[in-house]
Amino acid sequence: MGRHREFDPDEALHIALHVFRRRGYEGTSISDLTEAMGITRPSLYAAFGNKEDLFRRTLDLYERQHLCFAHAALQAPTVREAVERLLRGYIDVLTDPTSPPGCLGVNGAVACSEASEPIREELIARRMVNENNLRDRLETARAGGDFPSDEDPADWARYVVSIGLGMAVRAASGASREELQRVVDVALRGWPTLPR
């Protein structure tokens, strides 16, 4: 019973994602959001809780909609190919012409005040999940002979994620897709070869 909601929460969340990607977490004001969504402040708070809650739900949508390629990438036949798909797929996300450049996760986690410390930690934790997934993939590859036994999966996972972070910063600064492709080209030059 009661009045019907006059907006689509899912559509509104997509708009929030767009705004947050453009302006970052702290750089986005509630007014920015309500204006873009076409709803009022009380409607936003009723539907999504406070700003932090909304950002977390936006993060979920971002991972579900834009970072979902990672799961498939990790299942490539070889780790080397998995890593390459990971990085190339990430470039697609970072330079998607229909979205503001850069990564929602990286842009939010780096700077700004300590009022949003919980958000910073959340983003660091989510990033760590991805790094651990990659490390696990490298470990199974090593066990299966697809990765040298004298190499440390954690070291390589950390390295690959660092490359991703660097590209995310560059993308936020306006780097082109081609530029980033060249970073990946060079980054994969050192991929360890199997002893034979």
Partner DNA sequence: AGTATATCATACTGATCGGTATGCTAAACG
Partner DNA sequence: CGTTTAGCATACCGATCAGTATGATATACT
Length of the chain: 196
> Residue 26 corresponds to which tokens in the numbers above?
């702290």
What distance in Å separates the CA atoms of residue 36 and residue 82, rounded to the nearest whole number?
37
Taking CB under 7 A as the rule, does residue 47 contact DNA? yes
Judged by CB under 8 A, the stretch of 7-15, 49-57, 132-140, 177-185 that binds a copy of itself is 177-185
Taking CB under 8 A as the rule, does residue 102 contact a copy of itself? yes
Taking CB under 8 A as the rule, does residue 100 contact a copy of itself? no
Residue reference for tokens 């697809």: 146
Q: Is 52 or 152 the residue whose CB approaches DNA more closely?
A: 52
Taking CB under 7 A as the rule, does residue 10 contact DNA? no
Q: Is 168 exposed, middle or buried (0-12, 13-18, 19+ CB in 10 A)?
A: buried
Minimum distance from residue 82 beta carbon to DNA (Å): 39
- Contact present, 116 and 26 (Cβ < 8 Å): yes
Question: How far is it between the farthest Cα atoms of the chain?
Answer: 72
Taking CB under 8 A as the rule, does residue 62 contact a copy of itself? no
Find, among 44, 48, 56, the residue nearest to 116 by Cα: 56
Among 16, 37, 39, 79, binds DNA (CB under 7 A): 39
Minimum distance from residue 120 beta carbon to a copy of itself (Å): 8
Binding region for a copy of itself (CB under 8 A): 23-28, 102, 106-114, 120, 124, 127, 152, 155-156, 158-159, 161-170, 172-174, 179, 182-183, 185-192
